[in-house]
C-alpha cells in the first residue's frame, strides 16, 4: 500500500492546478461497516474565472466508504491546488464531489460548498450521490445559513 502512495510521508508541493493534483486512496479498515467520514475545509480558496478575484468557501465533504478511504494529505493538496484556478462555485463544488466519487466509489457521498459572498450574494452549492444507506447517522454539516458566516 505505502509504495503506491505519492504524498504520505514524503515532501510534497501544492499542485499548480486541480488537473495536475494526484489523489491517493487507502484501504478501508472496516469495509463491512457503514459509517460516515467527514472532511471540512473552512478556508477553501479559488479564483473567479472572470475577474481573477479570490473566492472563499467552507467545504464539507461527507462520505460512506466502501473499499477505499481518501488519503487526507493528498486531499489537502488537491483542495489547495484550486487557489490559482479559475472556476465558478458550482464547477468547483460539483467537480470535487465527482472526482472523489470516481476515485473512491463510496456507498454514498455529499459535498456542501458554502461560499462567502462577492457582489453581495453568497452562492451555496450541494451535490450528492444516491441515498444515504439505511441506519447511518449523519450529523448536520454545521454551517449556518449566511449571516456573516460567523
Host domain of residue 84: 24-129
User: Which CATH number do you get for residue 52?
Assistant: 3.30.1130.10
CA contacts within 13 A on the Cβ side of 136? 18
Domain-embedded: residue 44: yes
pLDDT one digit per residue (tens) for the chain, 150 residues = 445 888 888 889 999 999 999 999 999 999 999 999 999 999 999 999 999 999 999 999 999 999 999 999 999 999 999 999 999 999 999 999 999 999 999 999 999 999 998 888 889 999 999 999 999 999 999 998 776 655
What predicted TM-score, i.e. pTM, was given to this entire model? Answer: 0.93
Looking at the 3D structure of the chain, how many domains does it have? 1
Phi, psi of 52 (to 5 degrees): 80, 0
Active site residues per annotation: 48, 55
Whether 146 maps to a domain, the answer reads no
In a domain, residue 145? The reply is no
Amino acid at each position: 500500500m505505502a509504495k503506491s502512495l505519492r504524498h504520505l510521508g514524503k515532501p510534497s508541493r501544492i499542485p499548480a492546478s486541480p488537473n495536475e493534483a494526484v489523489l491517493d486512496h487507502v484501504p478501508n479498515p472496516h469495509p463491512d461497516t457503514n459509517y460516515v467520514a467527514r472532511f471540512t475545509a473552512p478556508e477553501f480558496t479559488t479564483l473567479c474565472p472572470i475577474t481573477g478575484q479570490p473566492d472563499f468557501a467552507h467545504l464539507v465533504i461527507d462520505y460512506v466508504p466502501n473499499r477505499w478511504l481518501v488519503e487526507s494529505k493528498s486531499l489537502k493538496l488537491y483542495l489547495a491546488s484550486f487557489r490559482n484556478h479559475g472556476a465558478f462555485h458550482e464547477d468547483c463544488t460539483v467537480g470535487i464531489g465527482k472526482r472523489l466519487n470516481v476515485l473512491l466509489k463510496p456507498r454514498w457521498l455529499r459535498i456542501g460548498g458554502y461560499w462567502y459572498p462577492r457582489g453581495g450574494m453568497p452562492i451555496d452549492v450541494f451535490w450528492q450521490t444516491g441515498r444515504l444507506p439505511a441506519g447511518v447517522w449523519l450529523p448536520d454539516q454545521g454551517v449556518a445559513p449566511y449571516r456573516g458566516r460567523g
